[in-house]
Structure 1
Amino acid sequence: MTRFSNINTLLAFVTVAREGSVSRAAELLNLTQPAVSQQLRRLSEEVGLPLFEREAAGLRLTGDGAALLPKAEQVIEAMGAFRQAACQRSDVVTGPLRIGTIIDPEFIRLGQLLGRMRAEFPGIETELSHGISGEIMARLLRGQIDAGFVLGPPGDEAGAMVDETVHLVTLAAFSYRVVAPAGWQAQVETADWPALAALPWIGTPEMSAHYQLLRRIFEARGLEQNVVARVDQEASMMEMVRSGVGLSLCRDAIALYQKQSYGVALAGRVAVPACLYLALPARQIDSPVMAALLGLMRGIWQLPRA
């Protein structure tokens, strides 16, 4: 009977299969590239089958590799379930929790979450990575994080953001306002979307919530946004608005503060509804670590129990 080296060998196989690259897999696994390559060779020798073949863009699974991949994922998931069950038996929740964060910590109540996590579940080791909503969702789908905050359209419209593998928990509803440089009030006060689209805009990356929300609005009306500059941080966007570059979206509370403090103009006829969500892998939602996270989030955000 073939004896496999260890679970790490299968983990290397699954990670390379998902990423299509030894270098990216090594980065995610905190290993060297030679170490990952050695694990792949060892596994291929143990099963007696070629698992990958090289192509210009990286590595591609062979037919045998593609057939074995779901089985390897099942083994890894089963081992994780075993560890979680052991933790439950000891009444102690332990394990890593990688969380993707967005925008400012105050808005997502990150400090409250980390403080309560440390006090109530000291055995959970949290690791944070920051990005924009699209990046956070992509990391979640690739298994690089265990949960993440994301922004998106409200209600049923949010279904377009995810598939059946992702579970969204609604944390808060809010609105974006269209903000413009000081002195533009006459142009934007009563402007509708066609009039606003023609004015200069500060654009954002395609993976950002701003881009996705505005794209839905403009495409539904057959409009083209007049983008004159692009930035990827909310603080930079507001600085460019105050400097007279063009229009941008801004969360309602911040927009009112910017108007009072710096005299920026606000469009009076339009607003963009949005929600803050916590995104989780659907198949892990009942795990002890996820249950602990959801319990804390319910208390912090005063959410109803499922």
Structure 2
Amino acid sequence: MDLQHLRAFEAIAREGNLTRAAESLHLTQPAVSMQIKSLQELLQVTLFVRTGRGLMLSPQGQALVPAARKILEAVEEFGRAAEAMRSAAYGTLGLGTILNPEVIRLGACLQYLVAHHPNVQPRLRHGMSGWVLSQVRGGALDAAFYLGPPGEVGSGDDICALKLRAIHYYVIAPRGWDARVAGKSWAEVALLPWVWTHEHSTHHRMLSRKFGELGVRPLVAAEVDLEASMVDLVVSGVGLSLARDSVALRVAQSHGLVVAQALTLTADLSFIALARRMEDPVVSAAFAAVRATYG
């Protein structure tokens, strides 16, 4: 027995007419007649009797109609479930994170993801922006938060970037350095000692771009790979550095550091993935969560 037999049986039972049943199945009358004949031979049961008005269900056929319809409805439900699975998000989401969770609204993003895509399991990996970008490009991460100079990613390259918001950075200097940075240009402060950062950091890329545009090389006094270490060296009087607006305000109040508000740079916080992965249901689910969180 196959489904075509059951479909022919149900169609004739429903229409009460061989011609209309064949039309509803987009088959010829002989083809439908053959299917009914095969089904009756297989079951060794008479399903229909001929009358002057067409085919009429026999008592046995009438008893079997509900079971046939139940089977066909179950097959349709099976197909709908499979179709839904093709477009639903299932699996692990390798998600790159940067900065601290509050800045990137990580908790709200994950809350939305878990609520709306319960079959997606986030796997978080934290690092600097340059590192998460390399991991996305290499396929180790599916998507990531990214912070960098405007236009650095997502403009015609292999990365699709959803801009979330701009973050402003200020030059911070040790206590008592007011006269050394007040009213100074970027070219002038390049001559002062700097607390430099790793090439994967946003600070490094923004400052390198700025000083490169001016054709100057900064005086590097030390290099660190943690924001806390960077601030600590500025507090210790080693040299200048960059700090996010909120960090600059906090350390100015708590440690008396100097904030050179005329020396500012802007970075774009974005959510990124490989452009060719944007149709992937897991990646689409991640972008939907971020869009909902950032409005």
TM-score clears 0.5:
yes
Structure of higher CA gyration radius: 2
Secondary structure (helix, strand or coil) at the match of 2:152 reads helix
The answer on whether the counterparts of 2:136 and 2:143 sit within 8 Å (CA) in structure 1 is yes
Tell me the distance in 1 between the aligned counterparts of 2:229 and 2:294: 28
Verify: 1:134 aligned to 2:130, yes or no.
yes
- Is the CA contact (8 Å cut-off) linking 2:167 and 2:245 kept in structure 1? yes
* SS at structure 2 position matched to 1:223: coil
Residue-pair matches, total: 215
Q: Which residue of 1 is the match for residue 222 of structure 2?
A: 229
- Could you tell me the TM-score, scaled by structure 1's length? 0.66
Query: What's 1:258 paired with?
Result: 251
Give the 5 Å matches for 1:1-306: 88-89=84-85, 92-154=88-150, 157-159=151-153, 164-302=157-295
Q: Secondary structure at the match of 1:210?
A: helix
CA distance in 2, matches of 1:87, 1:96: 20
Unaligned runs of 5+ in 1: 1-84
Tell me by how many angstroms 1:163 deviates: 6.0
Asked whether the 8 Å contact 2:87–2:281 carries over to 1, the reply is no
Deviates most, 252-261 or 228-237: 252-261
Q: Secondary structure at the match of 1:98?
A: strand
Q: What whole-Å deviation, never above 9, does each CA across 1:48-86 have from its counterpart, x for those lacking one?
A: xxxxxxxxxxxxxxxxxxxxxxxxxxxxxxxxxxxxx95
Aligned counterpart, 1:3? none
| d(CA) in 2 for partners of 1:104, 1:116 | 19
> Matched residue of 2:263: which SS?
coil
1:190·1:268 contact (CA, 8 Å) conserved in 2?
Answer: no
Residue type of the partner of 1:108? I
Runs of 4+ in 1 over 3 A off after TM superposition: 85-92
One-letter code aligned to 1:230? E
Q: 1:164 is paired with a residue of what secondary structure?
A: coil
Q: Is the 8 A contact 1:201 1:247 kept in 2?
A: yes
1: distance between equivalents of 2:261 and 2:171? Answer: 8
The alpha carbon displacement at 1:253 in A equals 1.6
Answer whether contact 2:110 2:289 (CA < 8 A) is retained. Answer: no
Cα deviation digits, residues 174-231 of structure 1 (max 9, x gap): 2110001111112112111111101110011112211111111101111111111010
C-alpha separation in 2, matches of 1:234 and 1:190: 26
Change (3 A) 1:265 1:104: same
Amino acid at match of 2:220: V
- TM-score (ref. length: structure 2): 0.69
